[in-house]
Structure 1
Amino acid sequence: MSSGKAGSPWFNGKMEEEEEPVRIPITDELDLHTFRPNEVGDLLVDYLEECQKLGILNVRVIHGKGTGTLRTGVHAALSRMKMVESFAWPAGERSGGWGATWVRLKG
């Protein structure tokens, strides 16, 4: 019987199972609350590329208010993306205010 502990013949060196990729629907809104900060960079690029392919050119990215760390990272990434025409923060009272950014993609 496996004890699963280090030193056990059954221990595979991994303490956690690898997670399957998360599939999310492509809409005009990307809520980053459910993702870890280290996942956001690639996710943002991939998501916005898919939006652009589908003709979704105005996307609201929800990064939350918090300390601003995630927002700063999102804005830095958006500034480097050639597909981004512009972005605006805060998003407006009814669109998430300080916790969201509107992104305009090139058509």
Structure 2
Amino acid sequence: MDENEPIELPIDGILDLHLFQPKDLGGLIPDYIDACVEKEIFSLRIIHGKGKGVLRRTVHSILEKHPKVQSYRLANDSSSWGATLVDLEQC
């Protein structure tokens, strides 16, 4: 697969970041949030993996600044450090 080729994502409230480069997240996450709001999906799961926590901190930093994000937290299950749950404001 060509790295410049766009990746089509299902808009279902689950965003797995394993397919993306960290440099892409600044545009990807806000665009995905906006697409979910358009489809009236207000609960998201963003899968960032465990690792050293760099990707998780980047995701949380982006969520902190997005006006539609009501709250976010680490998932409280077996992948707790590997995913963040996001609640969006309902318009």
TM-score normalized by structure 1? 0.78
SS at match of 1:98: coil
Shift of 1:20: 2.1
Match in the other structure for 1:98 = 81
Shift of 1:21: 1.5
Aligned pair count reads 89
5+ residue gaps in structure 2?
Answer: none
**Larger RCO, structures 1/2 (Cα 8 Å, 6+ apart):** 2
Residue 62 in structure 1 maps to residue 47 in structure 2: yes
5+ residue gaps in structure 1?
Answer: 1-16
Q: Which has the higher strand share?
A: 2
d(CA) in 2 for partners of 1:75, 1:59: 13
d(CA) in 2 for partners of 1:38, 1:79: 18
Identity of aligned residues (%): 43
Match in the other structure for 1:47 = 32
**Larger of the two Rg values belongs to structure:** 1
The two structures, once aligned, show a CA RMSD in angstroms of 1.3
Partner amino acid, structure 2, of 1:92: N
Pairing of 1:14-93 with structure 2 (within 5 A): 19-89=4-74, 91-93=75-77
